[in-house]
A and B are shown apart, each in its own frame.
Chain A
Amino acid sequence: MSTPYAKLPAWADYGLIPLINLSVAFIVAGFVVMLVGENPLRAAVILVEGAFGKGTGIAFTLFYATTFIFTGLSVAVAAHCGLFNIGTEGQAYIAGLGIAIVCLSFDSTLPWWLTFPLAIVASALVGALWALIPAYLQAKRGSHIVITTIMFNFIAASIMVYLLVGPLKPAGSQAPQTRNFLAGAELPKLNWIIELFGAKIRSAPLNISFLLALAMAFLVWLLIWRTKLGYEMRTYGHSPKAARYAGISETRIIITAMMISGALAGMMALNPVMGDQHNVAIDFVSGAGFVGIAVALMGRLHPVGIVLAAMLFGMLYQGGAELAFEMPAISRDMIVIIQGLVILFAGALEHMFRPYIQALFASFSPKSVGMQAVNGKGA
């Protein structure tokens, strides 16, 4: 377990290998594009142009990225504590309930800058509570958190559907969603930032929760690497036995980490709900929680990596929409494939190319591969 592979320089470990994995994912995706009779290179050009070519495209890219930063951070925080939170999807979905309650109660009386903090707290709280039960069951009863969080995704979906076709639906409406929020629950747009750079924006949903997402990325960095709690989470994540030895309570650390993870997942709901649709609708999360897994893996669980990976996925989502428009054979579901391929190559097959890279490095300069690593053989 300790050092399965000899040491590579940090830039190769954190830059080169993820890049190779990512490239392979895209090459395979290119084959799928060829399979449906389109030119993958042209598709790539359309995708990038769609995402960054115009101001509107950039704004959309950042809007999607906002969502994925939240879910990516959520997955990463749990992963640092050795927990696979596959329930980000459900935690975000059910957090829509918290936001709905705040917005529907206060949107006519309070300005957005008062509603927003309340909604942040509500979404984080509901998300955290939804993560609490699987966390408690893992810590106290040893129930596998992957399975329980999957189950909780479905349970959350059932509850939300029940509420949105029933109690939360305004009378006389057919659509399974809440009524539209008033101005007091609409988040201000951030499009003017992009317009500062001279680009024109038609209408794009990029809003202030983007800044919240960046703030959260910084706070997660601070939490994981600069606080006692983060230290304890990482200790437990690497070695539960060492954590026990160090006097870290297993129950407390699992529950804390999962609640933070759930809170981050919950905050994701702010972006589409208050920033874009201005209502809570069925399936508004639409898989963003699962994208978080891909984002966290690709970002190697580091907030900076996660922000970059979220941008990439934001680009894919926005560019993918353009792509679907330009190439009728390719719908936005192409992104789902790419997502899957990224998870496969950057996650499950993470180490596939490592031995080759190491051999390559060793052949250039044996010193750089740090052979002292093997002295750790010990007992």
Chain B
Amino acid sequence: MDIFNAIIQVLDSTVRLSVPLLLACLAGLYSERAGIFDIGLEGKMLVGAFAGAAAASVFHSALIGLGMAVLISVAFALVHGFASITHRGNQIVSGVAINFIAAGSTIILGQAWFQQGGRTPALQPGERFEAITWPGADAIRDVPIIGPIYAELLSGHSILVYFAFAMVPFTWWVLYRTRFGLRLRAVGENPAAVDTAGISVAWLRYRALICTGILTGFAGAYLSMVQNGGFVKDMTAGKGYIALAALIFAKWKPVNAMFACLLFGFLDAASIRLQGTPLPIVGKVSVQFMQALPYVLTVILLAGFIGKAIPPRAGGVPYVKER
């Protein structure tokens, strides 16, 4: 029973740790399927986290915080669009720039506004998203197997967790069942086809980036308003890049993205859980090894040793009307 409980706990923290990855990964999916590379997920998450915690703390409202997180994150996504769509700049360079601006400005503004060394004030109840307890969760907690699964694993998360997982089928539906999704996928493969079909390539790509901004805003809000009770400088700590890795790992498909993020979340959860505890056969596994594993796996995937990751064909290339 101890092992079972341990597994439930690891899975529970897997869910918690994979949520920001999943939101950011789906965010990246929208822009990359539209043909815009986005290594600025990290930065957009970070500004989202900062704006969310700052606004929630100032206005004493979690919802206002979330709204602000989304707003600022979208604004940064639009900067990326301005550079890479309107001015046909290098998308990678633009993404790098956004990450820097985000890293610096969150600290500078945080310090200027709150004077707590780049932190935002600790969020009070009502300023953050609380866990939701499902009906009957407490009652059946002690029922073997089902009890812990229901009470620990399924119940007791914040609304943003459920939102993140609901976004997976929603994104699939948008991509494959709506006009917007059809056009979005088309513009990432062959923008000229979209252009000649009388659809504005630029506006379509901007809308994709807005979706990206919304989701990175949610991802950031989750970090600062659910996982942590406030913003801490550089709190994304590379999650944007892991999300990018997960996106490649998922071959740019929404359901795969969920599994990739759960896998990477699990590696993270397991590394925390296993800290210092020896495993059978392999012995003690170093934390660093577990932390590096998502990156190593992605490199192996990219090298084509486990399937081939084929990115959207028009990805990274600014659209110029042919002469």
Contact = CB atoms under 8 A, between A and B. Distances in A.
Interface of A: 4, 32, 35-37, 84, 86, 137, 141-144, 146-148, 150-152, 154-155, 158-159, 161-162, 166, 290, 293-294, 297, 329-331, 333-341, 343-344, 347-352
B84 interface: yes
Interface string B214-226: 0000000000000
Contacts of B25: none
A150 B241 contact: yes
B87 A348 contact: yes
A142 B302 CA distance: 8
A340 B97 contact: yes
A202 B112 CA distance: 31
Contacts of B303: 137, 141, 143
A141 B303 CA distance: 6
A154 B109 CA distance: 28
A343 B104 CA distance: 13
Interface in B96-131: 96-105, 107-109, 111-113, 118
Contacts of A337: 100-101, 104-105, 108
B111 to A, nearest CB: 6
B196 interface: no
A344 B101 contact: yes
In the A-B complex, list the 5 residue pairs whose CB atoms are closest, starting with the nearest.
A340-B100, A336-B104, A337-B104, A348-B89, A340-B101
A143 B288 contact: no
Contacts of A347: 89-90, 93-94, 96-97
Given A146-B92, A337-B108, A343-B100, A154 B241 contact: yes
A340 B98 contact: yes
Given A150-B241, A331-B107, A334-B104, A297 B93 contact: yes
Interface in B240-267: 241, 244-245, 248
A86 B96 contact: yes
B108 A148 contact: no
A350 B288 contact: no
A159 B288 CA distance: 7
B299 A293 contact: no
Contacts of A144: 302, 311
Given A154-B291, A334-B108, 20 more contacts: A35-B109, A36-B108, A36-B111, A137-B302, A141-B302, A143-B302, A151-B245, A151-B299, A154-B241, A159-B288, A162-B288, A331-B111, A333-B107, A333-B118, A336-B100, A337-B105, A347-B89, A347-B94, A348-B84, A348-B90
B169 interface: no
Contacts of B133: none
B88 interface: yes
Contacts of A148: 299, 302
B292 interface: yes
27 contacts: A32-B105, A35-B109, A35-B112, A36-B113, A84-B92, A141-B303, A141-B304, A144-B302, A144-B311, A147-B298, A150-B241, A150-B244, A155-B292, A155-B296, A155-B299, A158-B292, A329-B112, A333-B104, A336-B104, A337-B101, A340-B98, A340-B104, A343-B100, A347-B89, A347-B90, A347-B93, A349-B83
Contacts of A330: 108, 112
A273 B54 CA distance: 38
User: Which among B84, B92, B298, B320 has the highest number of chain A CB atoms within 10 Å?
Assistant: B92
A341 B97 contact: yes
A138 to B, nearest CB: 10
B292 A349 contact: no
B4 interface: no
Nearest to B311: A144
A95 B244 CA distance: 26
A36 B109 CA distance: 7
User: Which among B39, B94, B238, B292 has the highest number of chain A CB atoms within 10 Å?
Assistant: B292
B288 A293 contact: no
A146 B299 CA distance: 11
B79 interface: yes
A338 B88 CA distance: 22
Given A144-B311, A152-B299, A162-B286, A348 B108 contact: no
B180 interface: no
A252 B258 CA distance: 39
A180 to B, nearest CB: 24
A281 B80 CA distance: 35
A339 B104 contact: yes
A217 B76 CA distance: 35
B289 interface: yes
Contacts of A35: 109, 112
Given A137-B302, A158-B292, A335 B104 contact: yes
Contacts of B288: 158-159, 161-162
A310 to B, nearest CB: 17
A147 B90 contact: no
A155 B82 CA distance: 32
Nearest to A354: B87
B295 interface: yes
Contacts of B302: 137, 141, 143-144, 147-148, 151
A343 B84 CA distance: 13
B119 to A, nearest CB: 13
Contact of A350 (B89, B112, B245): B89
Nearest to B297: A151
A148 B305 CA distance: 14
A343 B94 CA distance: 7
Nearest to B94: A348
User: Which among B91, B97, B99, B112 has the highest number of chain A CB atoms within 10 Å?
Assistant: B97
Given A341-B101, A347-B93, A331 B298 contact: no
A331 B97 contact: no
A290 B298 contact: no
Contacts of B92: 84, 86, 146
Contact of A340 (B99, B238, B241): B99
